[in-house]
Structure 1
Amino acid sequence: MPHESPKTDHPRAPSQTRPDDRENTMTRTRLLAALLTAATLIGTAQAQDFPRTTIQLINPYAAGGSADLLARTVAMAMAERLGKEVIVVNKPGAGTTIGASFVAHAEPDGHTLYLSTATAHAIMPRLSKTAYDGIADFAPIAMLANVPNVLVVRSSLPVKTVPELIAYAKAHPNALNFASVGIGSQPHLAAELFMQTTGTRMVHVPYTGVAPATTDLVSGQMDLGFLNAPPLLQHIESGALRALAVTIPKRADLLPDVPTLDELGLAGFDIGTWYGLSAPAKTPGPVLDKLRRTLAAVMSDRAVRGKIVSQGSEVFYLDGDAFAAYLKRDAERMARLIDTAGIKTR
């Protein structure tokens, strides 16, 4: 028989860490800890010094509208608490994206803020190529207010309730036209959601603003619209327009006798015109915290809340984390609606 050498197991030598390796690891750990401490101290110092100069609050709409009134009310109250001027700068155009892009690329030090809207953060980035990411390029500070949209019809339309409107629209497909304030606007999306939910078909007529849309509704050239409540109130009271429902989950303070679409069987129907406040992404956490504390005080002030309500808005306050979660959900919801409705800007 051939001679077989006995098998011998040679255990692997345990890995050894040289003293200089341990020293390098400890040095790196100490350096990282020092950097984190320095960053914390810098952030804290920035918050203590903040604001160092005037704060710009960028409003992506023209002066005089509900957004402008809200922005100026909040800006004045913030200035009183921060001890520095807070000025509203109107940068309208391109469906709110001019103002949003300006803030997204501003210095992230808390001195440039944005009056946030679903249009800027969720809708326009889905409809067109924007120079910013509606979620990643912003740090949500707080939700402020909501302007209810209301479903109104011309007084001569032979419907007095939402069920009657649905029945009429089904019996006359594409015979009714609805006014909006632009492609992809909340009034447009509210109508699209209504049609999807009820199985109806109507014709979209986009306007450049709520004023001309309301004028044509009152004159009878338009059949209906899902528009901001404040400009419609006088026409609802006069009987020129008939309010059938509001498009948010709870009844509007301005129209307490008008039911919600959710109440009427369109479960979960929620498309209002909300406003919040955001800063550029990478704004230091302590600065954001100071802004959030300031806004919490502002929005809990009875005089400020009363002024906001008198302007036609409803206080809808959410702090930073809650606002960020709402914004993410709303962006996903709007994206699905835009895609399923096949909405395009061209």
Structure 2
Amino acid sequence: MRSVPRRPLLQATLALPGLAAAGLAAPGGAGAQPGWPNRPVTFVMPVAPGGPGDVIGRPLAQHLQAALGQPCVIDNRPGAGGTIALDYALRSRPDGHTLVVYSNSTYSIAPHLYPMPYDNATAFAPVALIAQAPSFVCTHRSVPAATLPELLALLRREPETLSFATAGIGFTSHLATELFMALSGTKMLHVPYRGGAPAAQALSAGEVQVNFMEAALVRSLLPAGHIRALAVTSRTRHPLLPDIPTIEEAGVPGFESATYWAMVAPAGVPAPVQARLAEELLRWMALPATQERLTQAGFLPIGGGPAALARHMTEDTAKWGEIIRARGIRIA
């Protein structure tokens, strides 16, 4: 292969016997489209190689390569909020040989920030919901707040005196912080960086005071003692850091945010191909090794076939669109 809420770790939709309820055939029953696949299958990914997407994309490609009997090639096409990758995928034939593994920064957020020549809701066919990656509210050790309630009290007492880092304007880390400020009635100053790693380094160095960081970065930085993790953005606690409460538990009712990962195909993909892809993806997710790999990388496996993903995409797109409009977020 070349590079070109506590919610259960796996919901019931992930169990293979439940595929029929998701509109899919049982294992072995989803007849493949005749002649598919008859050439390499390409995973278009709207992120650069070496990032969190590799934790999902590469082992999934290996699984499908073995299951389908054709090479699975990863084609990284980052840029413009992921719209470059989506546009490229839509130029391919909708025959199941070109797929997109994406995060909601690409699908649910980008349409509200970038000009789009197509409608995501009709341009793509949902295949499967994979996992979510929640973030942790982290502060530099110099901030006089050891808990989220203490941080909220500080922010309300001294608005706009603290700054928060993000991976960039419009990224999930940015919108999660905007949602947090909207629901908690607080204000901080935004300092965007070019990626999650530089933003994390800025917090560790004390250049900023707050950062919503994903679990892998948090675990790598906590031992040094330069940062504190106060709360997690998911509705349930994270198994890697189970002692850290959720934002909702810690005093902000209704808060939930995470980066979601899923697979879609260009609209028009044959239904038997869509069903077979979903079946194989959910079979891969049911493997203990997959669950362990995703969890240790900071993901919470979810699972769900085309219908579950379609509902999620609609809800997630509406949620972030509302925040972007209400907060007046624009790409400079």
TM-score range, shorter chain: 0.7 to 0.9
The correspondence for 2:160, drawn from 161, 174, 178, is 174
CA contact (8 A) 1:82 1:294 kept: no
The correspondence for 1:71, drawn from 57, 60, 79, is 57
Residue 125 of structure 1: SS of its match in structure 2?
Answer: helix
Residue 135 of structure 1: SS of its match in structure 2?
Answer: helix
What is the TM-score of this pair, normalised by structure 2? 0.88
Unpaired runs of 5+ in structure 2?
Answer: 1-29
What are the within-5 Å matches in structure 2 for residues 1-346 of structure 1?
47-346=33-332
CA contact (8 A) 2:104 2:260 kept: yes
Q: CA deviation at 1:123?
A: 0.9
Corresponding residue of 1:41:
none
Looking at structure 2, the residues matched to 295 and 138 of structure 1 have their Cα atoms a distance apart, in angstroms, of: 17
Looking at structure 2, the residues matched to 112 and 293 of structure 1 have their Cα atoms a distance apart, in angstroms, of: 17
Unpaired runs of 5+ in structure 1?
Answer: 1-43
1:214 partner letter: A
Residue 56 of structure 1: SS of its match in structure 2?
Answer: strand
Q: CA deviation at 1:263?
A: 1.5
User: Per-residue displacement from partner, 1:254-277 (whole Å, max 9, x unpaired)?
Assistant: 111111112123222111111000
CA 1:233–1:46: 2 relative to 1, 3 Å: closer
Q: CA deviation at 1:156?
A: 1.1
1:162 partner letter: L
Q: CA deviation at 1:237?
A: 2.8
Q: CA deviation at 1:46?
A: 6.4
- Equivalent pairs, count: 303
2:151 partner letter: L
Corresponding residue of 1:15:
none
Larger RCO, structure (CA 8 Å, separation 6 or more): 2
2:77 partner letter: K
Residue 303 of structure 2: SS of its match in structure 1?
Answer: strand
User: Per-residue displacement from partner, 1:77-131 (whole Å, max 9, x unpaired)?
Assistant: 1111111111111111112111111112321001100012211111111112023
Q: CA RMSD in A?
A: 1.4
2:112 partner letter: R
Corresponding residue of 2:21:
none
Looking at structure 2, the residues matched to 153 and 292 of structure 1 have their Cα atoms a distance apart, in angstroms, of: 40
Q: CA deviation at 1:137?
A: 0.8
User: Per-residue displacement from partner, 1:55-83 (whole Å, max 9, x unpaired)?
Assistant: 00011111111112211011111111111
Identity among equivalent pairs (%) = 35
Looking at structure 1, the residues matched to 157 and 48 of structure 2 have their Cα atoms a distance apart, in angstroms, of: 40
Q: CA deviation at 1:182?
A: 0.9
Looking at structure 2, the residues matched to 267 and 86 of structure 1 have their Cα atoms a distance apart, in angstroms, of: 43
User: Per-residue displacement from partner, 1:277-296 (whole Å, max 9, x unpaired)?
Assistant: 00001111111011111112
Residue 265 of structure 1: SS of its match in structure 2?
Answer: coil
Residue 274 of structure 1: SS of its match in structure 2?
Answer: strand
Corresponding residue of 1:4:
none
Structure with the greater alpha carbon radius of gyration = 1
Residue 276 of structure 2: SS of its match in structure 1?
Answer: helix
What is the TM-score of this pair, normalised by structure 1? 0.85
Residue 295 of structure 1: SS of its match in structure 2?
Answer: helix
1:248 partner letter: S
Looking at structure 2, the residues matched to 45 and 75 of structure 1 have their Cα atoms a distance apart, in angstroms, of: 20
User: Per-residue displacement from partner, 1:283-338 (whole Å, max 9, x unpaired)?
Assistant: 11111011111112111111222222233322121111011101100101111111
Looking at structure 1, the residues matched to 303 and 254 of structure 2 have their Cα atoms a distance apart, in angstroms, of: 20
Corresponding residue of 1:21:
none
Q: CA deviation at 1:345?
A: 0.9
Looking at structure 2, the residues matched to 345 and 176 of structure 1 have their Cα atoms a distance apart, in angstroms, of: 22
